[in-house]
Amino acid sequence: MTTATTGRAALKGVVGTPHTRVEGRDKVTGAARYAGEIPFADLAHGWLVLSTVARGRIRAIDTEPVLALPGVLAVLHHGNAPRVDTDYIGLLGMPPDPTAAVFQQDRVHHVGWPVALVVAETPEQAREAAEALVVAYDEEPHDTALTTGHPGAHPAGGVMPGETAKGDLEAGLAASAVVVDEEYTTPEEHHSMMEPHAATARWDGGRLEVVDSNQGTTWIQGELASMFSLDASAVRVRSEHIGGGFGSKGLRAHQVAAVMAATELQRPVRVVMTRRQMFSLAGYRSPTLQRVRLGADADGRLLALEHRSLNQTSTVHEFVEPSAGVARVMYDADAHHTANEVAPLDVPSPTFMRAPGEAPGSFAIESALDELAERAGIDPIALRLRNEPEVGPVSGLPFSSRNLDACFREGARRFGWAERDPRPGRRREGRWLLGTGTAAASFHAGAGPSTAVVTAQADGGFTVRIAAADIGTGARTALTLVAADALEVAPDRVRVRIGDSDFGPAMIAGGSMGTRSWAWAIRLAARELRERLALGTTIPPEGITVRSDTTEALGTLAQKERHSFGAQFAEVAVDTATGEVRVRRMLGIFAAGRIVNPLTARNQLVGGMVWGISMALHEEAVRDRTSGALYAPDLAGYHVATNADVGDIQADWVEDPDPDDPVGIKGVGEIGIVGAAAAVANAVWHATGVRHRSLPIRPDRVLSASVPAAGGDPHA
Partner 1 sequence: MAPVPSSTSSAVTLNINGEKHQLTVDHRTTLLDALRERLDLTGTKKGCDQGQCGACTVLVDGRRAVSCLNLAVAAEGREITTIEGMAEGDRLHPVQQAFLDLDGYQCGYCTPGQICSAIAVIEEHAAGWPSAATEDVRPEAGPPPLTPDEIRERMSGNLCRCGAYVSIVQAVTRAAEAHEAAARDDDRADRHENTEETAA
Which residue lies nearer to partner 1 by CB, 583 or 690? 583
Residue selected from 7, 33, 134, 140 as contacting partner 1 according to rule CB under 8 A: 33
* Range 532-551, binding partner 1 (CB under 8 A): none
Only segment of 35-43, 284-292, 382-390, 696-704 that touches partner 1 (CB under 8 A): 35-43
Per-residue string for binding with partner 1, 240-259, x by CB under 8 A? -xxxx-x-------------
The least CB distance from residue 578 to partner 1, in Å, is: 14
Q: What is the DSSP letter of 285?
A: B
Per-residue string for binding with partner 1, 646-675, x by CB under 8 A? x-xx--------------------------
> What burial class does residue 461 get, using C-beta atoms within 10 Å of its C-beta: 0-12 exposed, 13-18 middle, 19+ buried?
middle
Which residue lies nearer to partner 1 by CB, 556 or 642? 642
The least CB distance from residue 37 to partner 1, in Å, is: 4
* Residue 609 binding partner 1, by CB under 8 A: yes
The least CB distance from residue 674 to partner 1, in Å, is: 14
The least CB distance from residue 481 to partner 1, in Å, is: 14
**How far apart, in whole angstroms, are the C-alpha atoms of residue 257 and residue 48?**
8
Which amino acid appears at position 220 of this protein? I
Which amino acid appears at position 535 of this protein? L
> What burial class does residue 580 get, using C-beta atoms within 10 Å of its C-beta: 0-12 exposed, 13-18 middle, 19+ buried?
middle
Only segment of 148-156, 235-243, 496-504, 587-595 that touches partner 1 (CB under 8 A): 235-243
- Helix 676-688 / helix 358-376 crossing angle, nearest 10 deg: 30
Is the CA virtual torsion 398, 401, 402, 405 positive or negative?
positive
* Residue 604 binding partner 1, by CB under 8 A: yes
Residue selected from 636, 700, 708, 710 as contacting partner 1 according to rule CB under 8 A: 636
Which residue lies nearer to partner 1 by CB, 17 or 537? 17
The least CB distance from residue 420 to partner 1, in Å, is: 24
Which residue lies nearer to partner 1 by CB, 369 or 481? 481
Only segment of 30-38, 309-317, 378-386, 412-420 that touches partner 1 (CB under 8 A): 30-38
Q: What distance separates the 2 farthest-apart alpha carbons in the chain? A: 85
The least CB distance from residue 408 to partner 1, in Å, is: 23
* Residue 28 binding partner 1, by CB under 8 A: yes
Cis ω before 696 (30° cut-off from 0): yes
Query: Rg of the Cα trace of the chain?
Result: 26
* Residue 492 binding partner 1, by CB under 8 A: no
* Residue 607 binding partner 1, by CB under 8 A: yes
Residue selected from 47, 611, 653, 685 as contacting partner 1 according to rule CB under 8 A: 611
Q: Are 280 and 348 in contact (CB under 8 A)?
A: yes
The three state secondary structure string of 26-49 is HHHHCCCCEHHHCCCCCCEEEEEE
Residue selected from 196, 283, 322, 392 as contacting partner 1 according to rule CB under 8 A: 196
Strands (E), 385-516: 427-429, 432-444, 451-456, 462-465, 494-497
Give the SS3 label for residue 169. helix
* Residue 635 binding partner 1, by CB under 8 A: yes
Residue selected from 1, 419, 643, 711 as contacting partner 1 according to rule CB under 8 A: 643
State how far Cα 437 lies from the chain centre: 25
**How far apart, in whole angstroms, are the C-alpha atoms of residue 9 and residue 348?**
58
The least CB distance from residue 183 to partner 1, in Å, is: 29
State how far Cα 178 lies from the chain centre: 35
The least CB distance from residue 14 to partner 1, in Å, is: 16
* Residue 20 binding partner 1, by CB under 8 A: yes
The count of C-alpha atoms lying within 13 angstroms of the C-alpha of 106, restricted to the half-sphere facing its C-beta, is 12
Which residue lies nearer to partner 1 by CB, 105 or 650? 650
Which residue lies nearer to partner 1 by CB, 354 or 666? 354
Closest residue by Cα to residue 326 from 391, 268, 264, 393: 393
Catalytic residue among 195, 571, 620, 670: 670
Which residue lies nearer to partner 1 by CB, 5 or 643? 643
The count of C-alpha atoms lying within 13 angstroms of the C-alpha of 471, restricted to the half-sphere facing its C-beta, is 31
Instruction: Order the strands of the 563-575 sheet from edge to edge.
Output: 427-429, 432-444, 563-575, 581-591, 648-653
* Residue 606 binding partner 1, by CB under 8 A: yes
Only segment of 80-88, 146-154, 156-164, 606-614 that touches partner 1 (CB under 8 A): 606-614
Q: What is the DSSP letter of 398?
A: B
The least CB distance from residue 625 to partner 1, in Å, is: 26
* Range 112-141, binding partner 1 (CB under 8 A): 121-124, 128
**How far apart, in whole angstroms, are the C-alpha atoms of residue 67 and residue 114?**
19
Q: Does the annotation mark 670 as catalytic?
A: yes
The least CB distance from residue 572 to partner 1, in Å, is: 16
> What burial class does residue 682 get, using C-beta atoms within 10 Å of its C-beta: 0-12 exposed, 13-18 middle, 19+ buried?
buried
Only segment of 20-28, 178-186, 382-390, 620-628 that touches partner 1 (CB under 8 A): 20-28
Q: Are 680 and 649 in contact (CB under 8 A)?
A: no
* Residue 31 binding partner 1, by CB under 8 A: yes
Which amino acid appears at position 333 of this protein? A
Q: Are 452 and 706 in contact (CB under 8 A)?
A: no
**How far apart, in whole angstroms, are the C-alpha atoms of residue 678 and residue 506?**
35
> Helices marked H in 535-571 — which ranges?
551-555
Sites of contact with partner 1 (CB under 8 A) = 20-21, 23-34, 36-37, 39, 71, 121-124, 128, 191-196, 241-244, 246, 272, 274-275, 471-474, 599-600, 603-604, 606-611, 614, 634-636, 640-644, 646, 648-649
Catalytic residue positions, numbered: 670
